[in-house]
Structure formats: structure tokens, C-alpha cells
Amino acid sequence: MSDTRVQTIAPVKSAGPADPPQQETSVTRRQFVGALAAVGVLSASPARSWAARSYAAIAGANERVNFAVAGLNSRGYAHLSSLQANRKDARITHVCDVDTTILEKFADQTKEAMNEPVQAVQDFRRALDAKDVDVLTIATPDHWHAPMAILAMQAGKHVYVEKPCSYDPHEGLLLIEAVSKTGKVCQMGSQQRSSPHTIEIVGRIHDGLIGRPYWAETWYANHRQPIGTGKEIAVPATLDWDLWQGPAPRTAYKSNVHPYNWHWFERWGTGETLNNGTHEVDVARWALDVGWPDRVVATGGRYTAKDDWQFYDTLDVSINYPDKLLTWKCDCCSGKTTYGRDRGVAIHGEKGTVIIDRAGYEIYDRQDKRTDQYTVSGHAATSASDLMGADSMTDLHFANMIDAIRTGSPLHQPITQGNVAVTLMQLANISYFTGRGLHIDATNGSIQNDQQAEAMTRRSYEKGWEPKV
């Protein structure tokens, strides 16, 4: 029987000191190699001794960074796995979840994995008030990502927030503003930005491997089952339903929402575009070396079941640039693969094609002959059906964040960069729900000449729960 003590707390306003402002920048390949050396991924490199000297020069740099993990179902276990992999540099002091059944189970596994005591709290704000917490990691439902991250940074904590970093484009702007005002480190959890083979092959594409790249083709396929028609039932005694809803407008508890199916409800989730599409679209945008597009079009529907699912199960997205195209194909239910993969990216160039996924890459010439390939050794989350996603990329992504906190080295996925891919997929959702293509201002990503669509870039909040920067 568990001996974990679960703590609850009434709503409080958290605040704390902020570090001096710190500019977020995208990491270069040279910087990444140095970071790999610093965390021991490369066996020998001049950057390794440099990193050791840098750590020694910083007061407290040899101490472990203290983490609180919030949102403990599925992806939260990947955070635990990666912090365990980085345990020489990281400690978990708090775990937070609104469901005490999930909380107690996770707390027990954390104590076993880290071999240290941990505080289990139902209200994450208790962790924000704790002086021994340096970082909050966020793996909650999507509607909590930006509001929780903003509260954490305002309380003086660094943040690791899963994609999508925001529920809508307006929240993305608020999050960027919060990073600027507080100076805290804020890493988005699109972990392929820390994948060595992805960094290597994207660099080769930028260096002309396949000539000028003009089309990035991305896709995701799964075998998701219907969620049925939910019934209003009593809230489980173990669940704080009010805190679970947080900034979202209040509604009655239904039987088919918690703990996973919230993804498919507009009130809390963002559909498969933001649940999974963000990953590959981010890699594609990186490889194409593009920013904001001038047009976004999404078409599809919910075709395979009649249930409470409020998004599409099948969707085609086109993100158009003046001289390049980025597409995403969503197939939630048939599971049919593309190029033999259930998720991935194909970068088509004037001299060939590169196919990239989490397990490696393949290079093809104009005659469709494979000329080179690379396969990852070790643990990699490659299946679309893997809801946890614990892998070596996530381990490195956490290591990069720890290094950024300790030494000020660049993040692999700062919010200013990650938010672009997130916003692109949010625009795809808006295009789908309005039933028309969107014209985009390529200087800032805003919707042009469409008041209805523009109004959908900012959600309604439960009174008193609006995020403020």
C-alpha cells in the first residue's frame, strides 16, 4: 500500500523573483555538438572540457536542478524517464496531478526511479510556492499549457512545456511575452529538435544535399477508436474537476473525457494537428528554412464514427509559401502508412528526397534510388500508438534545458521558435472549422481580412482564470 501523502491547497496567487532577461536563440549545429559533448553523448570533444570549466565557474552549477512535474498521465512518464536518465544533474522534488489516483501511482514510481523522496501535491500552485523547485515541467491537457507556464515563470520557475505550448495563437503571444518579461528558460517539448540524426540531416539539406528543397510532405496515421457518447455523471471523488478545468469555461463532468479523450473536445483539446502534427511540421519548417506562410488551407472531417469527437479524424493541410509548400496528412483511424512509416517527413528537392523520422533517415536521388540511410541505435519512440513517447531524444531535450539553465547555452526549441509550428497548426484548425482557406500576413502570422477567423485566435476563459502577463 502506498505511503504517499497527497497534499491539497486552496487557490493562491504565486509570485517569485525573476532572473535577468535572457535572449532565446535557435541552436546551431556547432553549438549542438558542444552540448552533446557536455552531457556525455560524444566520447571525446574539445567542447567537453570547455563545458566542465564553464560549470565550475558558475556558483552552484554542480548542484542538481530541482524539477516539479505536472500532469502525470501518459506523457508525464516520459518526463520521469528523462529526468531519471539525467539524474546526475536533475532531482524531482514535486509531482502534481488533479487526480489523486494518478498522483499516488506516479509518486510511488518516481520515488522508486529516482531513489529519493518526493512531495505529491494535487494543486500545482503548491509546487510553485516551493523554494526548492527550479523548473516546472508541464504535461497536462492542452488548455492548461500556456496559463500554467505563465504562472510558473511569474513564480520564478523555469518551464519545460509540452507541445502545443498554447491553446490558440493569442496564448502563444502571451507566452512569448512572459518569457521576455521574466527572463526564464522555457523549452517546448518538440524533442526531435534535440535528435542528433535530425540535426545532422537538416544541416546537410541546408548545405545543398538535395538541391533547393521545395516541398515538405508530413503525415501521421493511427488506429484511434471511437469515444462513444458520454453521460453526465458524478465527478470521481479522487478528481478536482474545478482545477482540472482551470482556465476553460465550466461544464458538467462526463464519462468519456478524463483522463485522455479531452484531446477530441474543443473546450480543452486541439485535435490531432496539435497533438501530433506539430512534431513533423516543426521538422519540415526547419528543413525548408521557412517562417510564416501566406496561406493555410485545411479540409477534412469526422468520417469513421458518430460520437462526441468534435474534431476531424481525416485532414489534409496545405501551408503555402511563395516558392515552397508544406503539407500534413492526418489519418487518425485507418493506420495506413506513408513510405512504410506511420509518421514522418519527406523533404523533396530539385536533386532528390530525404525521408526523416524518429528512427533515422533515408536519402533518394532523382531516379528514386536510395543512396544513403541511417538508423538510430538505442531507444526511440517510433510508433504513432505510443502515448508516452519516452526516448533518447527526450533525454537529450531535457539535458539541453538543464545545460541552458546552468550555463546559458542556447535552447534547441525556445518558445519563440516552437510557437511558429504550433501557430501554423492552430491556423489549420481555424481553416477547418471556418471551412475556408486563410490568408496570412507573412511578417507576423496573423490572419488577414477574415473577422470570423481572426476572432477564433483567442478563446473565452472562465471568469477569474484569464492568463495575464
- Give the CATH number, domain containing residue 55: 3.40.50.720
For residues 296 and 266, give the distance between their C-alpha atoms in angstroms, rounded to a whole number: 20
Mean pLDDT of the chain: 88
Q: 3-class secondary structure for 124-142?
A: HHHHHHCCCCCEEEECCCH
**Calpha distance 247→443 (Å, rounded):** 30
Assess contact for 180 and 21: CB atoms under 8 A: yes
Listed residue (402, 23, 319, 13) closest to 176, CA to CA: 23
In three-state secondary structure terms, 393 is: helix
Average pLDDT over residues 72-85: 96
Residue 106 lies in a domain: yes
Residues 205, 183 share a domain: no
Distance (Å) of CA 421 to CA 160, 274, 292: 17, 9, 9
* Residues 337 and 423 occupy one common structural domain: yes
How confident is the model over 255-263, as a mean pLDDT?
Answer: 97
Rounded CA-CA distance 369/167 in Å is 42
Beta bridge partners of 137: 69, 160
Grid coordinates of 389: 513517447
Q: Which residue has the cell 528526397?
A: 353
**Do 74 and 176 belong to one domain?**
yes
- CB contact at 8 A, 137 and 67: yes
* Per-residue pLDDT at 48 exceeds 60: no
135-166 pLDDT tens trace? 999 999 999 999 999 999 999 999 999 999 99
3-state helix, strand, coil in the chain (%, to 5): 35, 20, 45
Look at residue 390 in the predicted model and tell me its pLDDT.
79
Ordered DSSP codes for 81-109: HHHHHTTTTEEEEEEE-SBHHHHHHHHHH
Helix H or strand E encompassing 325: strand 325-331
Q: Are residues 200 and 181 in the same domain?
A: no
Which CATH number does the domain housing residue 348 bear?
3.30.360.10
Q: State pTM to two decimals.
A: 0.87
Same structural domain for residues 319 and 345? yes
* Residue-number span of the structural domain to which 288 is assigned: 196-232+235-384+416-455
On whether both 206 and 157 belong to a single domain, the answer is no
In the predicted model, is pLDDT for residue 3 greater than 80? no
| 393-406 confidence digits (pLDDT tens) | 999 999 999 999 99
Q: Establish if 151 belongs to a structural domain.
A: yes
Number of domains in the chain: 2
Q: Which of 173, 194, 215 is the last residue of a domain?
A: 194
Asked if residue 286 belongs to a domain, the reply is: yes
Per-residue pLDDT, 295: 98
Q: How confident is the model at residue 379 (pLDDT cuts 50, 70, 90)?
A: low
Same domain, 201 and 190: no
pLDDT digits (tens, 9 = 90+) for 300-351: 999 999 999 999 999 999 999 999 999 999 999 999 999 999 999 999 999 9
User: What separation in angstroms does the CA of 151 have from each of 164, 184, 190, 444?
Assistant: 17, 12, 21, 25
Same domain, 130 and 208: no
The pLDDT tens digits of the residues spanning 359-377 come to: 999 999 999 999 999 999 8
**Of the candidates 194, 218, 246, which is a domain's last residue?**
194
Cα separation, 254 vs 264, whole angstroms = 13
Q: Look at residue 63 in the predicted model and tell me its pLDDT.
A: 87
